[in-house]
Amino acid sequence: MSENETVVTITVNGQPVEAQPGEWVIAAAERAGVYIPHFCYHPRMNSVGMCRMCIVDIDTGRGPALQPSCMVAVSEGMVVDTTSDQTRKAQDGVLEFLLLNHPLDCPVCDKGGECPLQDQTMAYGPGESRFVEEKRHFEKPIPVNDLVYLDRERCILCDRCTRFADEVAGDPLITFQDRGDQTQVNTFPDLPFSSYFSGNTVQICPVGALTAVPYRFKARPWDLTEVESTYPNPMGDRVVVQASRDQVLRYQGVDSDAVNWGWLTDKDRFSFESTASDLRLGSPLIRGTPLGRPDPGGSELVETTWRQALALAADAIRAAVEDKGPQSVAVLGGARLTNEDQYAWARLAKGVIGTDNVDAQLDDGLPTDAVLGLPRATINRACTPGGTVVLMAPDPKEEQGTLYLRLRHAVVNDGVQLIELTPRATGLSHLAAHRLHHRPGEAAAVAAALVGGDIDAGPDREVGGVAADALAAAAAALADRADQPITVILGRPSLAEAAGPTVEAAAELMKLAKLLTAGGRPGIAFLPALHRGNVLGALDMGLAPGVLPGRVTLADGAAALAESWGSVPASPGADARGILKAAAGGNIDVLILLGVDPLGDFPDRKLAESAIKGVGTVIASDLFLHPSAAQADIVFPAAGFGERRGTHTNMEGRITRERQIVTSPGTARADWAIASELARLLEADLGFGSPEEVWEEIVRVAQSHRDLSLEAIDTETDGVVVADSSIAFHSPEDATPVPHVDAYSLRLVSSRRMYDRGTLVQHAPSLAGLAAGAVLALNPYDFDRVGVDMGTEVQAISHVGEMFVPVVSDAGVPRGTAAFGYNCPDLDVRALIDNDAVVTDERIQT
């Protein structure tokens, strides 16, 4: 709330307390340092006032009366007494009631030691129980899904998990059942709590009723050490990382107002398992013989020393530069690294080696100028009450889980109007005010109509596959709220179409900016929704062709940076696709893979295969020996999340800290250190000996980050948003021509699911099994037209490939479109996608 709003003064235990209008008494008291015990109250959910633990004497002029402080709003002159005899007696009574049926199994309970009920009992509880009757019994822990167990005997029916499922996640699959003292939380029979967010219920459970399978019986809270950190996903979720005996055992969400409100996705929360995986790389690897002897042409990867591996890598780079010039060295990836790691590699590549063939995105993102050149939004801006969000991105529920939760809250509770401009339905569709599901590749035409207002409305008319009437209604709604912030969530809604149409659509929406500048309106801004953890940091740090650290183009920033770096590449290099094409053509001698697996992840698998084959020396720095690393000649074991220090940049440009709590396996090193060592072997001293020293250099040379000290970042609870950029967005000059889809074909749309064949998921045993198998989803009305039956296996044929896949019905897929998961663990849709075309059409036959 802004400071200008009126303040309400209340008295808490004799002390005057200033509170915000509408604030709950419990929250105002807590801010003033008066803790009121509670179990059901949770600041991020609607109050229900049902545990009754927070009842205190509240006097609004009619004498003190016991009222739930979680559901009474402050009012001027209110007098609150949390210590009166009446309050104490009532709270003691509630505590005794809660303990009547609560089992005394604290010694074997995961929550023991961090349990609010236990803490309250120790602090205020009676020494002995007056309850001599039989306790209530339920079958001991039952799974509510694959990750969470529920012990109903421990449950105190606070409604937190059930409210979370309903209000926050929108997955009301656990509910109160039965009545009175027989009430229990449960699922519908054989219908598990299938939610991407179920782990949050474990975190907010005030007793040990909900426990997480990956953490059960792993540690006692008093054995855990912890640090506050940033989970390296594009949201930059704030987390606490907890470890014991040098092993990460748990991530807990931190309630950051600006970012994740304390929530995490299950995928991120339980990915800690992969950190301690036995398959983590702990030693450098080089080519060798089956007997373990080094041999550059060897068929095996064998362990070696850092000295030898680094020397071989430096030799290969030096040879390549001497042989074919610096551009014969290319760096792919880096989005999973910290800002400091990224900077160090960028400087090594661009300043030391001299190549601009560097790209952190794998042809599945957006051009750098679209990310760094468009006005950037914050998450809170997108969620401004009364504002508008235009979703032109992959399904946030699948790819940006905590952003999905924030958007969902904004739409449901704060009247944000959501306009969905996507080629298929998303997890937010049912909440969207307007669903404009366009034909793949035709977003720009729809966006143009949306902002141009020039719509030839009427039945049977359409634009890009969207009914003109629906489009007109959305345009009117957009115009109607034009005095409130408009935020575009911008990403690649489908990897079966090129980036061009999305960028063109963004350019159309940008036309609003000019219209909206009149009258001091907040206008339009963009929130990039890209894949891979610190991809925004990578672009800021210069891990992209044509840019340098500090959000500046190579052309604009060369002169300034050359002073610090000595030199910079003369001309812009190739992007990931260009790099791989060059590699396939024999023009890349050294390919450095920074935490990426192009064979598994690059949209054009065939190109990735031939590129890796065509390169002389492949160097990989990674956590695991994924398929691409397995093909490498030199492999460096890198430090992962929790094992490294540094900073992270989220989709807003928000910089927060990543902190270390455990040591990395074996001799694995931080990526900035690997880059430094390589530089040293290439006769260049980067001059830093710690990530903090890297950061000092970043804020010295990177324009956008100038003078941003780590202290300043730490001072702010939610870090600091870097807003400056000198990069301009280039509107595409010509619209990408999109071919007509013929009457016998369906146009392909493909996007990622949360659980996939990704490296981290597959190395976290609790998550690995959750990835769903591939299916081809069609609109129910298309089955007859295409002539196939639901549930059968069909043959999908594009002009680049074909495969057999089960076909299912999905009303969220528009007619004429076929949807196929991008990263399924079994079938690889990339075999069907034509990466040289704007869109891919396919035929289906039985």
Partner 1 sequence: MSAPAPTDLRIITSRFDIEDGHTLAGYERTGGYAGLRRALEMAPADVHGEVRTASLLGRGGAGFPAGVKWGFCPPGVWPRYLVVNGDESEPGTYKDRLLMERDPHQLIEGCLIACYALGLSQCFLYVRGEMAHAQERLAAALNEAYEAGYVGANVLGTEDFSVDITLHWGAGAYIVGEETALIESLEGDRGMPRLKPPYFPASIGLYGKPTIVNNVETLANLPWIVSNGGAAFAAMGADSSTGTRVFAVSGHVATPGVFEVPFGTTTFRDIIFDPRYAGGMRPGRTLKTFIPGGASAPWFFEEHLDLPLEKTTVDQAGSMLGSGAIVVMDDTTDVVKACHNVVRFFARESCGKCTPCREGTSWLEKILCRILSGQGRPQDLDLLMDVCDNISPGIAWPPRQTTICPLGPSAVSPIASALERFRGEFEAYLPATAVAVTTSAGAMS
Partner 2 sequence: MARLNPNNLAIAQEGIARYPVPRSALIPLLHLAQEQDGYVTEDAMAHIAELVGVTPAEVMGTCSFYEMLKREPVGDYMVNICNGISCHLLGASALIHHAEDTLGVKPGGTTDDGKITLEAVECIAACTEAPCLQVNYRYRNQVTTEDFDQLVADLRADTAGVAPHGQLAKVRQHVSEDRWAGVSPPNGQGEPAWMARNPSDNGDGS
- CB of 39 vs partner 1, minimal distance in Å: 9
- DSSP assignment of 75-109 equals -TT-EEESSSHHHHHHHHHHHHHHHHTS-S-GGG-
130-138, 353-361, 369-377, 471-479 -> range binding partner 1 (CB under 8 A): 130-138
The answer to whether 564 touches 554, Cβ cutoff 8 Å, is: no
What residues form DSSP beta bridges with 333? 594
Question: Rule CB under 8 A: which of 142-171 touch partner 1?
Answer: 156-157
334 binds partner 1 (CB under 8 A): no
470 binds partner 1 (CB under 8 A): no
Residue (106 or 768) nearer to partner 1, CB: 106
769 binds partner 1 (CB under 8 A): no
- CB of 661 vs partner 1, minimal distance in Å: 27
Residue from 124, 131, 188, 804 touching partner 1 (CB under 8 A): that is 131
The answer to whether 531 touches 823, Cβ cutoff 8 Å, is: no
Residue 705 contacts which entry, partner 1, partner 2, none (Cβ below 5-8 A, type-dependent): none
Residues 170-191 as b/e (b if ≥16 CB within 10 A, e otherwise) read: bbebbbeeeeeeeebbbbeeee
138 binds partner 1 (CB under 8 A): no
95-103, 263-271, 385-393, 581-589 -> range binding partner 1 (CB under 8 A): 95-103
Residue (123 or 191) nearer to partner 2, CB: 191
Residue 157 contacts which entry, partner 2, partner 1, none (Cβ below 5-8 A, type-dependent): partner 1
93 binds partner 1 (CB under 8 A): yes
Cα→Cα distances 507→127, 373, 672, Å: 69, 11, 36
127 binds partner 1 (CB under 8 A): yes
Residue from 69, 118, 338, 487 touching partner 1 (CB under 8 A): that is 118
Residue from 12, 27, 34, 52 touching partner 1 (CB under 8 A): that is 52
Tokens 């690997």 found at: 674
Residue (6 or 182) nearer to partner 2, CB: 182
Residue 98 contacts which entry, partner 1, partner 2, none (Cβ below 5-8 A, type-dependent): partner 1
The answer to whether 745 touches 841, Cβ cutoff 8 Å, is: yes
- CB of 205 vs partner 1, minimal distance in Å: 16
106 binds partner 1 (CB under 8 A): yes
Residue from 65, 142, 476, 728 touching partner 1 (CB under 8 A): that is 65
- CB of 166 vs partner 2, minimal distance in Å: 8
Q: Residues with Cβ < 8 Å from 514, sequence gap 6 or more? A: none
188 binds partner 1 (CB under 8 A): no
Q: Residues with Cβ < 8 Å from 109, sequence gap 6 or more? A: 115, 154, 208
Residue from 11, 13, 183, 277 touching partner 1 (CB under 8 A): that is 183
The answer to whether 447 touches 342, Cβ cutoff 8 Å, is: no
Residue from 2, 4, 104, 685 touching partner 1 (CB under 8 A): that is 104
89 binds partner 1 (CB under 8 A): yes
Residue (177 or 283) nearer to partner 2, CB: 177
107 binds partner 1 (CB under 8 A): yes
The angle that helices 116-124 and 85-100 make with each other, rounded to 10 degrees, is 130
Residues 697-727 as b/e (b if ≥16 CB within 10 A, e otherwise) read: bbbebbbbbeebeeeebeeeebbbbbeebeb
- CB of 436 vs partner 1, minimal distance in Å: 29
22 binds partner 1 (CB under 8 A): no
Strands (E), 219-341: 225-230, 238-244, 247-253, 285-288, 300-303, 329-333
Residue 657 contacts which entry, partner 2, partner 1, none (Cβ below 5-8 A, type-dependent): none
Cα→Cα distances 527→287, 342, 396, 497, 612, Å: 43, 22, 12, 21, 34
35 binds partner 1 (CB under 8 A): no
Nearest alpha-carbon partner for 422 in 512, 488, 511, 484: 488
Residue 188 contacts which entry, partner 2, partner 1, none (Cβ below 5-8 A, type-dependent): partner 2
90 binds partner 1 (CB under 8 A): yes
The answer to whether 288 touches 302, Cβ cutoff 8 Å, is: yes
Residue 55 contacts which entry, partner 2, partner 1, none (Cβ below 5-8 A, type-dependent): partner 1
Residue (425 or 444) nearer to partner 2, CB: 425
Q: How far is CA 745 from the centre of its chain?
A: 34
Residue 14 contacts which entry, partner 1, partner 2, none (Cβ below 5-8 A, type-dependent): none
Residue (165 or 281) nearer to partner 1, CB: 165
Residue 99 contacts which entry, partner 2, partner 1, none (Cβ below 5-8 A, type-dependent): partner 1
Residue (159 or 575) nearer to partner 2, CB: 159
- CB of 169 vs partner 2, minimal distance in Å: 12
- CB of 355 vs partner 2, minimal distance in Å: 54
Angstrom distance (rounded) from CA 275 to CA 639: 10
Residue from 179, 189, 191, 291 touching partner 1 (CB under 8 A): that is 179
CA angle 268, 271, 277 (to 5 degrees): 165
Q: Residues with Cβ < 8 Å from 836, sequence gap 6 or more? A: none
Residue from 5, 33, 76, 100 touching partner 1 (CB under 8 A): that is 100
Burial of residue 14 (CB within 10 Å: 0-12, 13-18, 19+) is exposed
62 binds partner 1 (CB under 8 A): no
Per-residue mark of binding to partner 1, 409-438 (x: CB under 8 A): ------------------------------
Torsion over CA: 571, 550, 317, 628 (sign): negative
Q: How far apart are the first and last CA of the chain?
A: 60
Residue 530 contacts which entry, partner 1, partner 2, none (Cβ below 5-8 A, type-dependent): none
Residue from 10, 29, 34, 68 touching partner 1 (CB under 8 A): that is 68
Residue (43 or 292) nearer to partner 1, CB: 43
Interaction site with partner 2 (CB under 8 A): 171-179, 186-189, 191
Q: In what order do the strands lie in the sheet with 646-649?
A: 646-649, 654-658, 720-721
Residue 172 contacts which entry, partner 2, partner 1, none (Cβ below 5-8 A, type-dependent): partner 2
What residues form DSSP beta bridges with 648? 656
Residue (94 or 330) nearer to partner 1, CB: 94
Residue from 25, 27, 54, 94 touching partner 1 (CB under 8 A): that is 94
The answer to whether 232 touches 693, Cβ cutoff 8 Å, is: no
Angstrom distance (rounded) from CA 523 to CA 388: 10
Per-residue mark of binding to partner 1, 515-554 (x: CB under 8 A): ----------------------------------------
Q: Is 765 helix (H, G, I), strand (E, B) or coil?
A: helix
- CB of 207 vs partner 1, minimal distance in Å: 11
The answer to whether 778 touches 790, Cβ cutoff 8 Å, is: no
What residues form DSSP beta bridges with 176? 185
Angstrom distance (rounded) from CA 475 to CA 419: 10
Tokens 């105190």 found at: 156
Angstrom distance (rounded) from CA 115 to CA 106: 9
Angstrom distance (rounded) from CA 411 to CA 138: 38
Burial of residue 485 (CB within 10 Å: 0-12, 13-18, 19+) is buried
Count, residues near partner 1 per rule CB under 8 A: 49
683 binds partner 1 (CB under 8 A): no
Residues that bind partner 1 (CB under 8 A): 48-53, 55, 65-66, 68, 71, 86, 89-90, 92-94, 96-101, 104, 106-107, 112, 117-118, 121-122, 125-133, 156-157, 176, 178-183
